Amino acid sequence: MNALVVLSGGQDSTTCLYWALRRFDEVRALSFRYGQRHIRETEIARELCAEAGVPWECMDISFIAQLSPACSLTNPQLDIEEEKGGDDPYPTTFVPGRNLFFLSIAAVYARNHGILDIITGVGQADFSGYPDCRDSFVKSLNVTLNLALDGQFRLHTPLMWRDKRQTWALADELGVLDTIRHRTLTCYNGVVGDGCGHCPACRLRREGLDKYLGGIKDNE
Ligand code: ZN
């Protein structure tokens, strides 16, 4: 069976890449350039795929940045760590529609490659507040994609109910803890591996890692 992984080059989707390699005979990966600040993440995705023998492609969908000029992840003029005031309940790093676009495009791409299983690293355990990371959204979109493309797609979300500690545990189980820790890019400031240490993404990632490594120590 073949599968397609939506791969950003960050901790979560890269863990999903190795998860998929354990479960499927053939795995492909698809990355997106959507105007994100740190284009390095797509290079990381390409490098890791080359090493794992995974065919990789990158799609340019930078119209996403154009759609939401107030998003700090795609607008370099904005401060990424600043809280957004007003009525919008989401942080400035929320890219509206991102996973809707990613997964819709991935499904069309998968269809063209005869693939029904699509893997995404989204999850709702560490509450990021992003509505398109929730299980209800993914399940609903799965139905919609099957109707839209007259297919039998299966959207897999191995991290949906895992918090960051459990995601590190999974990486360790898969034998790729060091690869995930030192090679992936999650940091909003574009620092690979352990990151800048102070942005919200780094704090979440670090807290999870400390909890996971601390838990191992306690059991020794
Ligand atoms: Zn950071």
Q: What is the pLDDT of residue 130?
A: 84
Which pair of structure tokens corresponds to residue 25? 């005979």
Is it the case that residue 74 has pLDDT exceeding 80?
no
The percentage of residues in the chain with a pLDDT greater than 90, rounded to a whole number, is 70
Q: What is the pLDDT of residues 177-205, one digit of tens each?
A: 999 999 999 998 899 999 999 988 899 99
Cβ partners under 8 Å of residue 8, min gap 6 = 14, 31, 32, 41, 42, 45, 121
pTM: 0.91
Is it the case that residue 117 has pLDDT exceeding 90?
yes
Residue 207 CA, ligand 1 centroid: distance in Å = 13
Residue 156 CA, ligand 1 centroid: distance in Å = 28
Q: What is the pLDDT of residue 81?
A: 62
Q: Is residue 44 helix, strand or coil?
A: helix
**86 — pLDDT class (breaks 50, 70, 90):** low
Is it the case that residue 84 has pLDDT exceeding 60?
no
Contact 44, 184 (CB under 8 A): yes
Q: What is the pLDDT of residues 170-179, one digit of tens each?
A: 999 999 999 9
Residue 157 CA, ligand 1 centroid: distance in Å = 25
Q: What is the pLDDT of residue 164?
A: 94
Q: What is the mean pLDDT of residues 61-66?
A: 88
Beta bridge partners of 32: 59
Residue 143 CA, ligand 1 centroid: distance in Å = 36
Q: E-assigned strands of the chain? A: 2-6, 26-33, 56-60, 117-119, 154-156
Residue 55 CA, ligand 1 centroid: distance in Å = 29
Residue 23 CA, ligand 1 centroid: distance in Å = 31
**7 — pLDDT class (breaks 50, 70, 90):** very high
Residue 183 CA, ligand 1 centroid: distance in Å = 14
Residue 153 CA, ligand 1 centroid: distance in Å = 35
Contact 39, 73 (CB under 8 A): no
Residue 140 CA, ligand 1 centroid: distance in Å = 32
Q: What is the mean pLDDT of residues 45-63?
A: 96
Contact 15, 7 (CB under 8 A): no
Q: What is the mean pLDDT of residues 60-74?
A: 82
Q: What is the pLDDT of residue 78?
A: 74
Q: Roughly how many angstroms between the first and final C-alpha of the chain, as a whole number?
A: 39
Distance CA 185, CA 168 (A): 14
Q: What is the pLDDT of residue 71?
A: 76
